[in-house]
Amino acid sequence: MDVFGPLQVLNLLSIDYNMTLSLISETLDPISIDRSIIGGQVQGMLASSASPYFSQFVLPTHTLADAPASDVLIIPGGPGTRNLAATQPYVDWIGARVDDPGLAYLMTVCTGTSLLARTGKIAGRRATTNKAAFRWVQSVPHADAVRWVARARWVVDGNLWTSSGVSAGTDMTFGWVAHRYGRDVSESLRHRIEWNALAQDDDPFADYYNLTDPQPQKYT
């Protein structure tokens, strides 16, 4: 849902606006959703789950080596982000792309913010992430330089848009559509998929995980 919640919104948006899409990975091999199935074998913490092969797969369109330039980059999260060694190539690639002057918007969903934080390129900027994994994300390299916002469905800091866990990415995407194309367009798309949107400061999960901010936050 980190990926396909936002994509559902953008798929509908693309009906009326000229857009292109790239799904980027290290290789063009199918990527398992919220699993670590590599070469037909389950890897990592999900190997001991009750249904280790209950998964779906996504087909990348480009690799890190040949991905085209983009004006919007969305970085999803998931269990795989906790493997720092395996995700380092993505961190390096993201770090290079952040410096692209043509990149107009940089967006993260859930623990995807950890990958961006590890680049060291968002030091001093405000961001949020999955509340269940909030403290872990704060522990990754360079995360101590980020101004973390605990109570937020999503946070906007200039061209940086970061969301809380999983479903929050869709709320953030509707917010981005309203920002970029107008509220009427955003509301039309929301009604078409019957999505009950939450506001930026509507974050009950901060309370659930006992997360607080030292002072009141500005969300936009």
Same domain, yes or no: 101 and 57: no
Compute the distance between CA of residue 25 and CA of residue 172 in angstroms, rounded to an integer: 23
Asked if the structure places residue 218 within a domain, the reply is no
Q: Domain containing 56: what range?
A: 23-67
Give yes or no: residues 180 and 116 share one domain: yes
Rounded percentage of the chain residues whose pLDDT exceeds 70:
98
Within this chain, do residues 59 and 126 fall inside the same structural domain, yes or no? no
Residues 45 and 146 in one domain: no
Q: Do 140 and 164 lie in a common domain?
A: yes
> What is the average pLDDT value for the chain, to the nearest integer?
94
Look at residue 219 in the predicted model and tell me its pLDDT: 65
**What per-residue confidence (pLDDT) applies to 35?**
67
Residue 182 scores a pLDDT above 90: yes
Q: State residue 216 phi and psi, 5-degree precision.
A: -55, 145
Query: Could you tell me the pTM of the whole model?
Result: 0.93
Domains in the chain: how many in total?
2
CA angle 75, 179, 208 (to 5 degrees): 55
- Are residues 76 and 56 part of one domain? no
> Is residue 215 a part of any domain in this protein?
no
pLDDT tens-digit readout, 22-80: 999 999 999 888 767 777 888 777 788 888 888 889 999 999 999 999 999 999 998 88
Domain with residue 192: its CATH number is 3.40.50.880
What pLDDT was estimated at residue 49? Answer: 84
Say how far apart CA 128 and CA 154 lie, in whole Å.
7
- Using 50, 70 and 90 to split pLDDT, how confident is the model at 215? confident
Quote the DSSP letter at residue 31: E
pLDDT tens digits, residue range 79-91?
A: 889 989 999 999 9
Question: Are 123 and 145 in the same domain?
Answer: yes
Q: Are 189 and 12 in contact (CB under 8 A)?
A: yes
Q: Is residue 186 part of a domain?
A: yes
Shared-domain flag, residues 99 and 11: yes
CB burial string 177-210: b at 16+ within 10 A, e below: bbeeeeeebbeebbeeeebeebebeebebbeeee
